[in-house]
Amino acid sequence: MDQKIYAVIGTGAIGGYYGARLHHGGHDVHFLLNSDYQFVRQHGLKVDSHYGDYSIPADAIKAYNASEEMPKADVVIVALKTTQNHQLETLIRPLLTPNTLVLLLQNGIGGEQALTRLLNIEYTAGGLCFICSNKVGPGHIHHIDYGRLTLGVYGELGMPALTSVANDFHNCGVEVDVENSILDARWKKLLWNVPYNGLSAVLDTDTAQIMACGETVSLVKAIMKEVCIAAKATGSTLDSSLIDIMLNNTAQMKPYLTSMLLDRRNGREMELQYMYKNVLDMAAEQGVDMPRTEALYQQLSFVNRSVANE
């Protein structure tokens, strides 16, 4: 097996789960932690998954609280919230080699372009995580459902490296698709995230409650249609038939507390720039109005400000 050195920046619900899968697949994985560092060093990383146990004991996990102490990496997986993207250059720069692939497992759109410019590198990659996973305690991840990754590259020269990483995930038991364009992949994820993350946070409820009310289901569908129109105006091939597929899948899945709802309930800043503001700006540049999405963004901005002032 072609063993790479993986660095995981942000060992939470996403980074902890996928990093643990790579570790159990035999890869050399190094985890950067913040508040959980001492706990994980003493107790390891606990990952409860409906696929099985992917925990890493304390004597096996490679945990750090500063990226300067980590080895240079073949792949840097960024699993921080986009609200922390102002820290990325400081965190990633010590890990880079001329051939390092930086993979953003984040919500929203525009991150790859910004990071490529910031680091002055030829390409980056992005990943969309179709997963229900929450951090439920220090060093403790609860994987509830799903887990598929959709990966894409920003910069054509990065495709061979991305294909190799996709193979690693596949060999570790993770379902993975590779798209030619990261922008298409991101619009696909936004089709779900824009309505469900935002409405769950504004209404303070889970996905099952949203789907139990005919009026909110109609609103979700209307917002999805706006996202589709905006995506196509920017050159995406996003297929509007996905709307009904996503609605049906969400109706059938277990009740899920979205990441934005958890941020609100825990007094954390919500990811509005990359998930809403960038979307609205890109649509406006193409002359596309998104009135329902705009109204949702305005309500979320109020909630975000209220949380920050508590």
Alpha helices (H) along the chain: 15-24, 37-43, 88-92, 111-119, 159-171, 182-203, 207-211, 214-233, 242-252, 259-265, 272, 278-285, 291-309
- Burial of 202 (C-beta count, 10 Å sphere; 0-12/13-18/19+): middle
Bridge partners (DSSP) listed for residue 151: 127, 178
CB-CB contact of 275 with 249 (8 Å) = no
Cα-to-chain-centroid distance, residue 48:
19
* Residue 211 CB contacts under 8 Å (≥ 6 apart), including other chains: 217, 247, 250, 251
DSSP H or E run through 12 = none
Q: Known catalytic residue: 277? A: no
From 62, 81, 189, 277, active-site residue: 189
Active-site annotation, residues = 189
